[in-house]
A and B are shown apart, each in its own frame.
Chain A
Amino acid sequence: MKARFVLRASTPWWRGPLLVGAAALLTILISAIMIRWAGGAPIPAVRYMFISPLQSRFGFTESLLSATPLVFTGAAVAIAFRAGYWNIGAEGQLLAGTIGATWVGLHAESLPRIVGVPLILLAGMLFGALWALTPALLRTRLGIDEVVTTLLLNPVALLIITGLLNGPWRNSESGFPDSDVIADSTKLWIVWPNTRVHFGLALGVVVIGLCWWFVGKMSGGLKLRAVGLAPNAARIAGLPVERTLLITALASGGIAGLGGASEIAGVAHQLTTGISNNFGYTGVIVATLAALSFVGALLVALMFGVITVGSFSASRALEIPSQIGQLVQAVLLITVVCALVIQKYRVVWTIKRSEGRK
């Protein structure tokens, strides 16, 4: 038997939701098998993971907190992918953003908060964009594949952080490789009293809104989409393809860097080597699951926040590994990508007739 994928001529409105529903069911089913395998009871585990975080105030706000960095990286990846710039470096760009933010945070004691906060956010954004600059130039000037360069710069950013934390930024009190706590004047406001939900989430939602507006409504966004969908046609129509890619890459890096600053100034308040829990890589999953829609990325990020918090409570209650949360996210990625393929293509099975066919 051999499978061929044939482009569908038309797609009825119900196929998309149906396939996403099927993907979700399949994900829960596969996750349940894995949980069973890990020695837990599947049904309570699924309930802990997907429902219980939404049933308590604490669970809900912690989910929002976990979702916050993913909102930024999801938007960063989505806008780059829409332009056909395959930025896999949101992780490194976010880390670069944390460096910039920490640098400002450690040197901004005497400033008023109204100055300090914009400054720390701006620094994160700049450092993120700067980290994205080299691969973007290599791509637009020399045609070097950005997938490889952006990806390979991710561990470099982490190494720089490790270097800084073991050198100039070593904690002045404990001597551990964590930075000192940043100045109060650069800490983000808490937007939901008595929780840890900070201004970063609001900022993320604003970023999502701006991206959506720009790509969907503005002339630059139309250019960006044209370049992403058919670069040659865009070139023939006189659009500046390389410049569009360069600017989009910098914007993408800037958004990821802003996410890094939001983590430093919003929750962590100091730089550690574990500052990013793979937020950049998860951003790729978030954007893909959202089919590169910005509002979709926001929703997926929030869902991932719930799963992250839920998997911790499931692991505590049922004594299963907390990595089960990441496992669910990964399975979800695979099933949804399959669903997206099936939405676009028909699968035609042919029976092998002669030995010659491969």
Chain B
Amino acid sequence: MNSVEGVVIASRGGAPSIYLRNITKAYGETIALSDVSLDLRAGEVHALLGENGAGKTTLMKILYGLSQPDSGQIEADGVALKIESPRDARAAGIGMVTQHFSLVKNMTVIENIALASAKTFAIDLARVRAEIVSASTRFGLDVPPDAIVSSLPISLQQRVEILKALMSGCSYLILDEPTAVLGPNDIDSLLEVIRRLRSDAGIGIVLISHKMAEIEKVADRVSVLRRGQVVSSSLANGITSKELVTLMVGEQQSGAEQRQRSASPSQSQSPILVLESVGVTREAGGLSDVSFAVRPGEILGIAGVSGNGQTELVNVLSGTTQIDSGTIVVEGRQLGSNTPQSLMRAGVGILGEDRHASAVHALQVVENLILDCVEKFAGKLQLRRKEMLSHCESAITQFEIKANPKQAFGTLSGGNMQKVLLARLFSRNPKVAIISQPTRGLDVMATNYVRSLIAQASKQSTAVVLVSEDLDEILELADRVAVMYRGSVVGIVDHSEASRESIGELMAGIAK
């Protein structure tokens, strides 16, 4: 898709700019960016929107020299730039604040900034201090220069990062999901800082985000990335949030089949998993007042723009994050605490969003397959290896896994890894299966197979909570769709009423 080149958008006349031209980048067989072109202008906030894995961060890493493109080039005012490292990028006036700060926590603000901008062997801290004070007033970024960084709240640490980038003389600033770590009030003041940097200092800002509200507030232009391509680039006031969400999640793919659903999915049965006002307190990105119930044989889809609490919810249901308020009830029994063990005992199984983190790469397929029920195969003096292998072989046949039981898990393809983990999940016959991003990064065949497995599990009256960023997947499989926005469930829609439009509005936080 090359429609963006040639799109001419009015800007403040003659402002300097940076062009990314036809950037392509592949990691192995995965194409992260395909012929992407983008321009950044001074004195403008350019929002870069897209789901996880759409290529936003990869693109910015290339601009900041953290990664090299396979083809394409970067130009500044018509001159080709060679950016091979962050140092080259900074020399070209490009700064970046990554999601993980690069501050030395035990040092003061002055020392951190001196560290970044030091060009001489001796450092004059008093001078750096004076520079910080004058820069803070100039940019409207108040920071306490003498404070130890670790004593500052996240929002101030972020300001230090921004100030550090600005003081090293950048005229373009990349902010990678800066609001993901902030609470609501801090978000507002950050947006104010962004506005001032744009209007008063003429800085060109790239704002990576997937939150509609803040894009509406500060962006001058919005580009949407989807599956490694720019699918839209336009002035911010010429496009609505709803249109942006649609662009982000894509059009319905033709041929997506609907799952056969029973007429009224087990309405008579009582729910097996009930979450009541579940909350996780965080400075940012927690959960508040999440309530829903799932019945046996039902698939509850959890939709939402990524970063609205889905990961936290899955962590709560896998027991890796403890809840601070509310209750979790399984089969009528309230869980005392949601540890992995207590959830498993209660019959809750999990497929985590990251298949690599859910298994031990260096162990064999068979060992990974039984890792959650090792005791079942424990003999008096040793593991009953033969039974393990025959269990594994039957799983391999049943789940169509292309693997040898004794092969290291890490050598499997993504689809086969996912099948092994699904086999592990379903061999427990869980009463509730929490399934997160089951088809992320899988090819079409594997995707279809994984989806059919999920449908089959619900037929055997397993209750399924399906968390996915792929709206098609949710619309195809779910009986009901719960939409998450800012850590809460903002609506639960029956599949008969669920459409891309109705869900999209809830996802964007614009429908009640």
Instruction: Answer whether residue A269 sits at the interface, using C-beta atoms and an 8 A cutoff.
Output: no
Q: Which of B82, B360, B377 contacts A354 (CB 8 A)?
A: B82
Q: How far apart are the CA atoms of A181 and B381 in the complex, in Å? A: 40
Quick check: which of A52-60, A164-172, A193-201, A216-224 contacts chain B, the rest being far away?
A: A216-224
Q: Which residue of B lies closest to A231 (CB)?
A: B360
CB pair A239 B371 closer than 8 Å: yes
Does residue B497 face the partner (Cβ distance < 8 Å to A)?
A: no
Interface 1/0 per residue, B334-351 and A, CB below 8 Å: 000000110010000010
Number of interface residues of B (CB under 8 A): 32
For A12, the chain B residues whose CB sits under 8 A away are none
Residues 53-87 of B contacting A (Cβ, < 8 Å): 65, 82, 84-85, 87
Binary per-residue interface labels of chain A (125-151) against chain B in the complex, 1 for a CB within 8 Å, 0 otherwise:
000000000000000000000000000
Closest A residue, CB atoms, query B377: A219
**Distance of B103 from chain A, by nearest CB (Å):** 19
Q: How many Å lie between the Cα of A353 and that of B84 in the bound state? A: 9
Q: Provide the A196-236 mask, 1 if CB < 8 A to any CB of B, else 0.
A: 00000000000000000100011100110110011011111
Interface size on A, residues (CB 8 A): 24
> Which residue on chain B has the smallest CB distance to residue A240?
B341
A356/B318 contact (C-beta < 8 A), A219-B377, A222-B374, A236-B357 known: no
* Known pairs A222-B374, A233-B359, A239-B371; A357 contacts B382 (CB<8 A): no
B371 near A358: Cβ-Cβ < 8 Å: no
Mark each residue of chain B from 369 to 397: 1 if its CB lies under 8 Å from any CB of chain A, else 0. 00110110110011100000000000000
* Residue numbers in A under 8 Å from B383 (CB-CB): 217-219, 222
Are A229 and B371 in contact, CB atoms less than 8 angstroms apart?
no
Cα distance, A147 to B65, chains bound together (Å): 36
Chain A residues with CB under 8 Å of B87's CB are 356-358
Are A229 and B84 within 8 A (Cβ)? Answer: no
- Shortest beta-carbon distance from A352 to chain B in Å: 10
* Residues of chain B with a CB closer than 8 A to A223's CB: 374
Cross-chain contact B360 with A238 (CB below 8 angstroms): no
Asked if A351 is at the interface (CB within 8 A of a chain B CB), the reply is no
Does B509 make an interface contact (CB < 8 A)?
no
B285 CB-CB contact with A under 8 Å: no
Q: Considering the chains assembled together, what is the distance between the CA atoms of A222 and B363 in angstroms?
A: 9
A3 CB–B CB distance under 8 Å:
no
Instruction: Report whether A234 and B360 are in contact in the complex, using a CB–CB cutoff of 8 Å.
Output: yes
Q: Evaluate contact between B367 and A222: CB separation under 8 angstroms.
A: yes
Whether B378 pairs with A234 at a CB distance below 8 angstroms is no
Contact partner of A218 (CB less than 8 A), chosen from B320, B350, B362, B378, is B378
User: Would B372 and A237 count as touching, CB distance under 8 A?
Assistant: yes
Q: A residues 276-303 with Cβ under 8 Å of B?
A: none
Interface residues in B454-499 by Cβ distance below 8 A to A read none
Q: Residue B358 at the A interface, CB < 8 A?
A: yes
CA distance A239 to B344 in the complex (A): 11
Q: In the assembly, what is the distance between CA of A238 and CA of B319, in Å?
A: 9
Cβ of A357 and Cβ of B371 under 8 Å apart? Answer: no
- Within the complex, the shortest CB–CB distance from A171 to chain B, in Å, comes to 47
Known: A218-B382, A226-B371, A356-B85. A236 touches B320 (CB 8 A): yes
Complex: A337 Cα to B114 Cα, angstroms: 38
On chain B, the residues within 8 Å of A353 by CB distance are 84
Q: Are A236 and B84 in contact (CB under 8 A)?
A: no
Q: Which of A222, A353, A357, A358 has the most CB of B within 10 A?
A: A222
Within 8 A of B (CB), among A314-355: 353-354
A-facing mask of B259-273, CB < 8 A → 1, else 0?
Answer: 000000000000000
- Contact (Cβ within 8 A) B363 A238: no
Q: How far in angstroms is the closest Cβ of chain B from A278?
A: 31
Give, as a whole number of angstroms, the nearest-CB distance from A9 to chain B: 9
Give CA–CA (A292, B383) in the complex, Å. 21
Q: How far apart are A218's CB and chain B's nearest CB, in angstroms?
A: 6
For residue A114, give the distance in angstroms from its CB to the closest CB of chain B: 26
Give complex CA distance A218, B382 in Å: 4
Assess whether B359 is in contact with A213, with CB atoms less than 8 Å apart.
no
In the complex, what residues of A have CB within 8 A of residue B400's CB? none
| Nearest CB in chain B to that of A225: its residue | B363
Min CB distance, A319 to chain B, in Å? 49
Among A217, A218, A238, A357, find the residue whose CB has the most chain B CB atoms closer than 10 A.
A238
Contact between A230 and B340, CB atoms less than 8 A apart: no
Does B296 count as interface, using CB distance less than 8 angstroms? no
Least Cβ–Cβ distance between B414 and chain A, in angstroms:
16
Taking CB atoms and an 8 Å cut-off, the chain B residues in 226-277 that contact chain A are none
Could you tell me the distance between the alpha carbons of A156 and B146 in the complex, rounded to whole angstroms? 39
- Residue B451 interfacial (CB < 8 Å): no
Residue in A234, A240, A356 with the greatest tally of chain B CB atoms within 10 Å? A356
Q: Are A236 and B352 in contact (CB under 8 A)?
A: yes
Q: Which residues of B contact A213 (CB under 8 A)?
A: 381-382
Whether the Cβ atoms of B360 and A357 lie closer than 8 Å is no
Question: How far, in angstroms, from A356 to B88 measured CA to CA in the complex?
Answer: 6
Inter-chain contact B340/A238, CB cutoff 8 Å: yes
Q: How far is the CA of A218 from the CA of B367 in the complex (A)?
A: 12
Residue in chain A with minimal CB distance to B315: A236
Cα–Cα, bound, A103→B372 (Å): 44
Whether B123 is near chain A, meaning CB under 8 Å from some CB there, is no
Kindly state the separation between the CA atoms of A358 and B86 in the bound complex, as whole angstroms: 10
Q: Cβ of A233 and Cβ of B357 under 8 Å apart?
A: yes
A320 to B: closest C-beta gap in Å: 43
**Is the CB–CB distance between A233 and B360 below 8 Å?**
yes
- Report which of B85, B352, B357, B375 forms a contact with A358, defined as CB distance below 8 A: B85
Are A235 and B382 also in contact (CB < 8 A) when A223-B374, A226-B360 are?
Answer: no
Contact B371 A234 (CB under 8 A): yes
Check A217/B382 contact, CB under 8 A, given A236-B352, A354-B84, A354-B88.
yes
Asked if residues B88 and A226 are in contact (CB atoms below 8 Å), the reply is no
Are B361 and A230 touching (Cβ within 8 A)? yes
Nearest residue in A to B384 (C-beta to C-beta)?
Answer: A219
Of chain A, the residue at the smallest CB distance from B65 is A356
Q: Provide the bound-state CA to CA distance between A232 and B355, in Å.
A: 12
> Complex: how many Å from CA A156 to CA B85?
47
Residues of chain A with a CB closer than 8 A to B340's CB: 235-238
Residues of A contacting B372 in the complex (Cβ-Cβ under 8 angstroms): 237-239
Asked if residues A233 and B358 are in contact (CB atoms below 8 Å), the reply is: yes
Answer whether residue B91 sits at the interface, using C-beta atoms and an 8 A cutoff.
yes
With the chains together, A213 CA to B88 CA distance in Å? Answer: 55
Chain B residues with CB under 8 A of A229: 360-363
* CB-CB under 8 A for A238 and B344, given A229-B360, A229-B362, A233-B357: yes
Q: Which residue of A lies closest to B90 (CB)?
A: A356
Evaluate whether A230 and B382 lie within 8 angstroms (CB atoms) in the complex, with A222-B367, A238-B341, A240-B341 already known.
no
CA distance A236 to B339 in the complex (A): 10
Residues of A contacting B341 in the complex (Cβ-Cβ under 8 angstroms): 238, 240
10 contacts between A and B (CB under 8 A): A219-B378, A223-B374, A229-B362, A233-B357, A233-B360, A234-B371, A235-B340, A236-B320, A240-B341, A356-B87
| Chain A residues in the interface with B (C-beta under 8 A) | 213, 217-219, 222-223, 225-226, 229-230, 232-240, 353-354, 356-358
The 8 closest A-B pairs by CB, nearest first: A219-B378, A217-B382, A237-B371, A237-B372, A356-B88, A230-B360, A219-B374, A238-B344
Sample of 13 further A-B pairs with CB below 8 A, known A229-B360, A233-B357, A237-B372: A218-B382, A219-B377, A222-B383, A225-B360, A235-B320, A236-B318, A236-B357, A237-B358, A354-B84, A356-B65, A356-B84, A356-B88, A357-B84
